[in-house]
Structure 1
């Protein structure tokens, strides 16, 4: 089964970080304390295999050997993926309906993902123009189709 991209952050990673708080992924309505995602929309997630962590309080997605290999895949390169220390692989292209960050302050926080502008400065960029595209067309970044990526 091919990995599908998250319509919000563009991630094709379906494995939670090893230090992710324990959560019952089958229970609806739970909210992630880290990024604010809900279990209602994330039925494809898996718990990370048990690995020893040098510092259990620190996200280590950037040093995961599996994620580094994923970045070499053509799909990841086409989506302009990088490794986020929190969610793993994610596209550096913001969704088409994301508000402009041009006038945002360093400590401004995204109401959807809880990401701060300071941590993403010069690491994310705007989505290609999709104005006037037909509903259901394929997103040029994630390959998703539908109204959110028309």
Structure 2
């Protein structure tokens, strides 16, 4: 590409980029006759009773009763126990599972080769679990808390 063509292409690109910014705000975002002050006054006056009732209904749908079981479960999560202290202090590091696919093959070392179908196997990346030193990771959740959270849902 010659210098002249490169200059022409860059000028054309800049012209297109600048033309995108030439739209009018009033065209893109038209507004009605009310100003923000009008909306504020309408909200502070309380509006009509119908809108207040609709607001109350919407809020009541979002409210849910708190049962004693939920409060007890929440307290249990924050109670210090030996298990919580151990899991919080020395958290287990992630040990991802690897999935390996063994393709179909023939056996060797026998008088006749036998076919072996393909199969998948799963193994951990590390041979043993690794534990973090205190302060190395975010606070993990103890396995007992994970099990109780799964049952509660």
Using the size of structure 1 for normalisation, the TM-score is 0.17
Higher strand share: 2
Q: Which has the larger radius of gyration?
A: 2
Q: Which has the higher contact order (CA 8 A, sep 6+)?
A: 1
Using the size of structure 2 for normalisation, the TM-score is 0.16
